[in-house]
Structure formats: C-alpha cells, structure tokens
Amino acid sequence: MKHTHRSSFALLLLVLLSGCQHSDIRGKVSQIIAQIRRADYEADQATLKKCYDALTPFLEHQELAARVRYWRGFDLWRRAINGFNDGLPSAELEQDLKQAIDEFKQALAIDSAFVDAKVGMTSCLGFLAFMHRSDQPRARELIGQMLPLLEEAKRAAPDNPRLLWVIGPVLWNTPPERGGGQDKAIANYQRGLELCSKLQPSQDELEPTWGKPELLMSLAYSYLNRSSPDVSAAERNARAALGIVPYWHYVRDILLPQILASKSPG
C-alpha cells in the first residue's frame, strides 16, 4: 500500500510539473507575441526579426505550433507592410511576404479551421499582386490564389474584424459596377468596428484579437483619400487609433501629418 501511495504521489507530481512547464512555455510565447505586436506598431524591423527567430524553438510544441506559425507569419507580414511605408527595397518586401505565406500555410496544415491564417495569406497575396501590377499575368495568378482563400474565410467567419480589415482594400480597388468602390470599403471598415464592440475577445493571448486600431487607421486613410475627402472624419479616426496605440509610427508620423497638412490652406 505504501508503494502504491508513493507511486500515485509521484504521478501527481509529474502531472503538476508538466502543467507548470506547459504554462511556462505559453507564457514565453505570449511575451514574444506582445513584443511582435509592439514592434509592428513602432515599425521596429530589427525587433521583428529577433522575435521571428525567438519563436523558432517553439515550432515543435504540438499544441502551440499552429499559433506559433501564425505569429511568425504575422511578424513577416507586418515587416513588409512597414517596409512599404518606409520605402524599403522591393526585393526584401517580396521575400518577407513569400515567407509569411509559407508560415501561414504551415499553420493551416496543422489547423485547417484557423481562419486568421487565411486572412494573413490573403493580404500577403494581395500585396504581392500589387507589387507585380505591371506584370499582368503574374498579378492575375496571385489574385487567382487570393480570391478563393478570401471566399473560404468569408464563409467560415464573416464577422471576423481582421478579415473585414483585409477585405477593405479589395473593395476600395474594385469598381462600383462590380460590387466595390470607396463607399463600400468605408462601410466595410465601419461594420468591422461595430463588430469589435460586440465580440467577446479571446482571453488566450496566443489567439489573434487585433483589429480595432487597424480598422480606425484604414477609415482615416480612406476618408482622406476618397474622391471627396472628409478630412475631419480622417483626423477623428486617426486620433482614435492613436488613443488605443499612441506609439503607432505610421499613424503618428505619416498618416496624421498628411491629414493635418491637407487642412492647411494652400
């Protein structure tokens, strides 16, 4: 009986230790994700590179692998977006986008129902198509890959605010007679904001929950750049985005100054 008791105690101790180790791993991954999110907003390319590499040791953790792959893809995706804004070489941007697509694909290979991985892939393919717009066969090939993914994501999660953020540029660049246009894009972003206020965000820090600041930023950009600009609405949305993320480089240092300059006479 004593031997059985000791064996049961040892088993319980092993379970508890395993739980602590798992919790510690999740905590480390969560810390790296938080660094990625901040580095994205700050356009800190060096930190994004370090964080991508820092996630490598966790790729073999079966339970977390799909999310680790997602955040590595997100890291590269945002490096490319920030690189567009800051004028980095196109070859570097294209490499980041292609590598991001590979990460998202691997996330989907592990978890085929992971809609946010499809959202990331869709956006990356859209950026690549834009980069190759002067090569129409290549651009059409990329759009041909993008549109089915977009439709799959819309069927699976039509109320995903991050999906709506990615749909916005597609609508913006689609003529009104084909169901798009500037007003449709703005209405799409507004719907995304409404959903953000209604949806209960996941408490799991490894799950994507971003979206509200990005939607506000896109509304600000859209109001500024539509055929009949609404500069007041652009400024209001830009300042709302900065109210959530005051250190956002693009909004603070690029977009808002453009909006304020458009208000100045002459």
The reported pLDDT for the residue numbered 245 is 98
The reported pLDDT for the residue numbered 20 is 43
The three-state DSSP-derived secondary structure of 176-206 is HHHCCCHHHHHHHHHHHHHHHHHCCCCCCCC
148 and 163 housed in the same domain = no
The count of domains in the chain is 2
CATH number at residue 171: 1.25.40.10
125 and 188 housed in the same domain = no
225 and 263 housed in the same domain = yes
The reported pLDDT for the residue numbered 265 is 64
Give the tens place of pLDDT for each residue, 54-95.
Answer: 999 999 888 999 999 999 999 999 999 999 888 888 999 999
Which of 134, 157, 180 is a domain's end point?
157
164 and 260 housed in the same domain = yes
pLDDT, mean of each 10-residue run, the chain (266 residues): 47 43 83 97 97 95 94 98 89 96 98 97 96 93 94 96 96 93 97 92 88 98 97 98 98 97 77
165 and 147 housed in the same domain = no
Rg (CA), the chain: 21
Reduced to 3 states, what is the DSSP secondary structure of residue 132?
coil
Give the tens place of pLDDT for each residue, 237-256.
Answer: 999 999 999 999 999 999 99
145 and 193 housed in the same domain = no
Residue 94 belongs to domain spanning = 38-157
50 and 143 housed in the same domain = yes
Q: Which residue has the tokens 């999740």?
A: 26
Question: Cα(20)–Cα(76) distance, rounded to whole angstroms?
Answer: 31
Which of 95, 128, 157 is a domain's end point?
157
Q: Is residue 28 part of a domain?
A: no
241 and 174 housed in the same domain = yes
78 and 163 housed in the same domain = no
43 and 100 housed in the same domain = yes
Query: Quick one: which of 244, 157, 149, 246 has its CA closest to 199?
Result: 157
